[in-house]
Amino acid sequence: MSSFFREVLWTRLKRNRMAMAGALIVFAMFCFAMLAPVSGRDPGAIDIVHRLQPPSLDYPLGTDDLGRDVLARILYGARISLLVGFVAVGIATFIGILLGALAGFYGRWIDSLIMRFVDIMLCFPSFFLILAVIAFLEPSIWNIMIIIGLTSWMGVARLVRAEFLSLRERDFVVAARAIGARDTRIIFRHILPNAMSPVLVSATLGIAGAILTESALSFLGIGVQPPTPSWGNMLIAGKQTLGTAWWLSVFPGLAILFTVLGYNLLGEGIRDAMDPRIKD
C-alpha cells in the first residue's frame, strides 16, 4: 500500500467509532496477554484450602475446584488464544495467497485445477473436517493451529484469485511484461501488494474464527489439554459447578465474547474504510 492510501485508510478508520472500539478491545487483550508473565500469578498453583472461592480482593475472579487463580488462568489463556489465532490465520493466509495468485495469474488449466480443489474443500464443513483430522492425531496446541490453518485457506484463495483476475490486465502489469520482468516478480512485486486489501480484512476476521474454533475444540476436550490454561477448557471445567461457582464459566466466556467481538468490529471497520463506494 502507498503512504497516501495508508493515510486515507487510517483517517477513515478513525471516524468509525465501532472499529475504534474493536481496536481498543484487541489492544487490551494484547496487553493482558503480554503482562501475564509479570503479573506474579501462577496459573497452575494448586491451593485446596481456597478452592471455589468467589471473586474477592485476593482473587479478583475467584478460584476453581483446585484452588487455582481464575484471573491468572484467563491471562495465560489469552496468550494461547492469540497464538492459535495468529499462527492458524498465518498458515491459512500463506496457502490462500499462494494458490489464489497462481490461479488468478496463470488461469486456464492451473486455475481450473486449483479452484476445483477449493470447491472440494468447501464441500466439507470445516469444523467436522477438523474433528476428523484430530481423531487421528494427538490433541495439542501445535496440531490445533496447523489443522485450523490447513482447513481455512479457501476463502483467502478465492479473494486473491478474484483480485489477480482484475489486476493482471492492468497497464502496470503490461508495462512490467514489456520490460522483461519475470512472472515471479510481477506476481509478488507488482500485483500482490495491490491485492492485499481484502486479504487484510479476511485475516482480521479469521483470527476471531480461529479463536472460536480453538475454544470449541478445547471445550469438547480435543483441543488444548489441561493443565495448560485455555478459555475453552476453562469453560468445560466450570460446567460441572455452574450452579454454585458461576465465575468459572462466566469470566472465560466473557473473555471469548469480547475478543471475538473486538476482532469482528475491527475487521468490519477495515472493510468499510477500504470500500471506495462508501463516501467519507
Q: What is the CATH number of the domain that holds 148?
A: 1.10.3720.10
pLDDT of residue 91: 94
Closest to 271 (Cα-Cα) out of 197, 211, 215, 212: 197
Q: Does the residue 219 lie in any domain?
A: yes
Q: How confident is the model at residue 183 (pLDDT cuts 50, 70, 90)?
A: confident
User: How many other CB atoms are found less than 10 A from the CB of residue 128?
Assistant: 10
Beta-carbon contacts of residue 220 (< 8 Å; ≥ 6 apart)? 236
Q: Answer yes or no: is 46 within a domain.
A: no
Query: Which residue in 77, 44, 72, 42 sits closest to 60, CA to CA?
Result: 72
Tell me how many domains the chain contains. 1
- 164 inside domain: yes
Question: How much is the average pLDDT of 267-280?
Answer: 70
Average pLDDT over residues 259-276: 83
- Share above pLDDT 90 across residues of the chain, in percent, rounded to a whole number: 16
Report which residue type is found at 266: L
Predicted confidence at residue 99, as pLDDT, reads 93
Which range of residues forms the domain containing residue 84? 3-39+56-274
Whole-angstrom Cα distance, residue 166 to residue 189? Answer: 16
- Range with the lowest mean pLDDT among 83-87, 93-97, 169-173? 169-173
Confidence of residue 4 (pLDDT cuts 50, 70, 90): very low
In a domain, 78, yes or no: yes
pLDDT at 1 over 80: no
Lowest-confidence segment of 68-82, 97-111, 213-227 by average pLDDT: 213-227
Question: Is residue 280, in this structure, part of any structural domain at all?
Answer: no
- Residue 218 CA to residue 132 CA, distance in Å, equals 15
Confidence of residue 133 (pLDDT cuts 50, 70, 90): confident
User: What per-residue confidence (pLDDT) applies to 94?
Assistant: 94
Tell me if 148 is assigned to some domain. yes
User: Is residue 156 pLDDT above 70, yes or no?
Assistant: yes
Any idea which residue has 478460584 for its cell?
A: 63
Q: What is the pLDDT of residues 189-212, one digit of tens each?
A: 888 888 888 888 888 889 988 888
Give residue 32's pLDDT band: very low, low, confident or very high (50, 70, 90).
Answer: confident
Question: CA angle, corner 38, sides to 73 and 57, nearest 5?
Answer: 60
User: Residues of the chain with pLDDT > 70: what percent?
Assistant: 94
Please provide the average confidence, as pLDDT, over all residues in the chain: 84
pLDDT for position 7: 64
89 band by pLDDT with thresholds 50, 70 and 90: very high
250 domain residue, yes or no: yes
